[in-house]
Amino acid sequence: MEEKIKPIYEELKGLCSALPTPSHPDEVSYNIGQIDYFRDILKKAEETLKEDLSRFNINTLRQGIGPHFAINEYKVKALGLLMFLRSYLTDEPEPFKGSPQTEVKQTQTQTQTINQNRIYYIAIGISITVSVVISFALYLIFKL
């Protein structure tokens, strides 16, 4: 079975290496070709394993301009299928060193840095405002 799964796994691994990264959680893509290619791989896996893998299928949304899909759902299901297929392979190393955990940690670090910068700039703004108010109050006190 492993020799039949390996080519499907490698094809999916190639697809997963180029998964898009959404700029926000609800981002969608209109590139239906990506989903069609993923569905072809999913169908090969189902036929090879003779198992229902519909839980990995990606929903195509039809409202709005045209058919589209949620990028996050695509990433989760593609990587989920990749790891599922990996379970059939013996001695197969992690497909992407450090990911998806590395990607999550990098995103968390970037978010923390952005939040720290925001807090810093807010603190500077408050201190400038307080300085201006105190200076104005002193001006009024000594002018009288």
Q: What is the pLDDT of residues 105-121, one digit of tens each?
A: 555 555 555 556 667 66
Long-range CB contacts (< 8 A, 24+ apart) of 83-92?
84/53, 84/56, 85/5, 85/8, 85/9, 85/12, 85/45, 86/9, 88/1, 88/2, 88/5, 88/9, 88/49, 89/2, 89/5, 89/6, 89/9, 90/2, 92/9
Helix-then-strand count for the chain, H and E: 4, 2
* pLDDT bracket for residue 20 (50, 70, 90): confident
| Mean pLDDT across the chain | 78
pLDDT bracket for residue 42 (50, 70, 90): very high
Q: Could you give the percent of the chain with pLDDT greater than 70?
A: 78
The answer to whether residue 5 scores a pLDDT higher than 50 is yes
Q: Provide the residue type at 73 as one letter.
A: E
Q: What is the DSSP letter of 55?
A: G
